[in-house]
Amino acid sequence: MSKLLIVVGAVIAVLGIVLIPLPGPGFLLLALGAVLQIVGLVLRRKA
């Protein structure tokens, strides 16, 4: 599960980087991807 969160977070972060020129969605996707990656790393460290 933690590895899946890390991968999904990375994919969402890449989409956020691609959409950065747009005002809202690019930054929000980048932030969401970063949060998912952090949660995945924390879960992986606890396991």
Show the 3-state SS of 19-47.
Answer: CCCCCCHHHHHHHHHHHHHHHHHHHHHHC
| pTM of this structure | 0.73
| DSSP category for residue 11 | H
Tokens of residue 10, six digits: 């990375």
21-44 pLDDT, tens digit per residue, is 777 777 888 888 888 898 988 988
Query: What is the pLDDT averaged over residues 3-23?
Result: 82
Residue tagged 């991807």 (tokens): 33
Length of the chain, in residues: 47
Angle at 15 between CA 11 and CA 43, to 5 degrees: 35
